[in-house]
Structure 1
Amino acid sequence: MLITATPGPDNLMVLGMGISKGRKQGIMFGLGCAMGCLSHTLLAVVGISALIAASAVAFTLLKVVGGLYLIWLGFNAWRSAGAVNVKAVGPVETSLARLFFKGCFANAINPKVVLFFLSFLPQFVVAEHGQVGAQIAALGLTFTVQAAVLFGLLGYFSGSIGQWLNRKPAAGVILDRVAGTVFMGLGLKLIFTR
């Protein structure tokens, strides 16, 4: 839980989504980010995570794609006109299902999560008990469940902040610029960090 609560791209994206779009949207995006962990669990179970970590080309490609996605999110935040609008009435521009899948995708392309699952989960596997794949799957599912709880709570409470910001429209523009800068900085760091 401490690892999930540590600030990172997923946390910032859930926080930004909840603040700018509202509670339900923040929760759905957060749940999507958590469910993205299932892709890493599956990769760890079948051993592909080890291949990605061993192949500099595969890891670099995943890292660049993840970094470009964060830069794209940051660019869109900068283009925004302060999208802090979480009123209960009116249409929401993005469906909840789409936000859920965006969260899944954002997490699935995060190479740091691949390395986390590769390096952290196996430490808790007891080879003598056999069924190593099943043990990794259980650990991955446990991690996914706790991430869903934490990201869901983050999305919920960030929506409350968004409602407060609704009364201060200039704060929305500032928030978008700050979030955009953070996302672009994280994307560049991800691309250029060895």
Structure 2
Amino acid sequence: MFGIHDLALFIISGLLLNITPGQDVAYIVSRSAGHGWKIGIVAALGVGTGCFVHVFSAALGLSAILATSATAFTVVKFIGAGYLVWVGLAMWRRAGSGQQKISVNCRASLRKVYTQGFLTNALNPKVALFFLAFLPQFVMTEAPSKPLAFLILGILFTFNAVLINLIWAWVGARAASFFQGGGKYVGWIKRSAGTLFIALGVRLACTKSV
């Protein structure tokens, strides 16, 4: 249907790939552990929305530009790396604030968490290349509309990713609940997450175009 084959294998492969921790999971877990499961949900939805950028790019063939243009890949790579480092440094700066309740200006705070999750995924060129390499394996050569097949697979992959990320958010919140270190513990969560994001940003900056 729609020129797609081996759909069950695609779903299983996608779930296994989404279970593997990466920078998206690191962001979701850090937010959930530091501020609770509801904030983790917002972070997961932001990441999922960012994933749609790559889905539509793959369907429209824009991801091919990143795969073939070293300049385009380098520009997006350094923007994404710089953003990750900036998020990491921001977490370190706020590490001393303790268990920060998102109550004052709640709507703006939730929007910030959502936006950061969106950018964490959308500015990662490796995700775009992943979709370009992974999705075509499940699209028939005689598919009546390859962009439509790409779009359907991408939406399905993203839906499964959001479900997995919601579980990661729950795991982060539950893990934090086992420790009762108050503000000191939350401060260490922020420092650890900040260090991880800085490391991920450096690693992304060192990534070579394929």
TM score, norm. by length of structure 2: 0.84
Question: What are the equivalent positions in structure 2 for 1:98-109 lying under 5 Å apart?
Answer: 98-109=112-123
Structure 2 segments unaligned to the other structure (5+ residues): 1-14
Q: Which residue of 1 aligns with 2:3?
A: none
Match of 2:202 among 175, 181, 188: 188
Q: How many equivalent residue pairs?
A: 193
Q: Cα offset for 1:140?
A: 0.2
Partners of 1:9 and 1:183 within 8 A in 2: yes
Q: Cα offset for 1:22?
A: 1.3
Q: Cα offset for 1:163?
A: 3.9
Q: Cα offset for 1:26?
A: 0.6
Q: Which residue of 1 aligns with 2:155?
A: 141
Superposed CA offset, 1:15-72 (max 9, x none): 1111112111111111110121111111011111001211000001111011111101
Match of 1:129 among 139, 143, 149: 143
Q: Distance in 2 between matches of 1:97 and 1:181?
A: 23
TM score, norm. by length of structure 1: 0.90
Match of 2:104 among 66, 85, 91: 91
Partners of 2:77 and 2:205 within 8 A in 1: yes
Match of 2:81 among 67, 91, 100: 67
Q: Cα offset for 1:84?
A: 5.2
The DSSP-based 3-state class of the residue aligned with 2:142 is helix
Partners of 2:139 and 2:146 within 8 A in 1: yes
Q: Cα offset for 1:110?
A: 0.9
Letter of the structure 1 residue corresponding to residue 50 of structure 2: G
Partners of 1:22 and 1:86 within 8 A in 2: no
Percent identity of paired positions between Structure 1 and Structure 2? 36
1:33 aligns with 2:47: yes
Structure 1 segments unaligned to the other structure (5+ residues): none
Q: Distance in 2 between matches of 1:99 and 1:62?
A: 21
1:58 aligns with 2:58: no
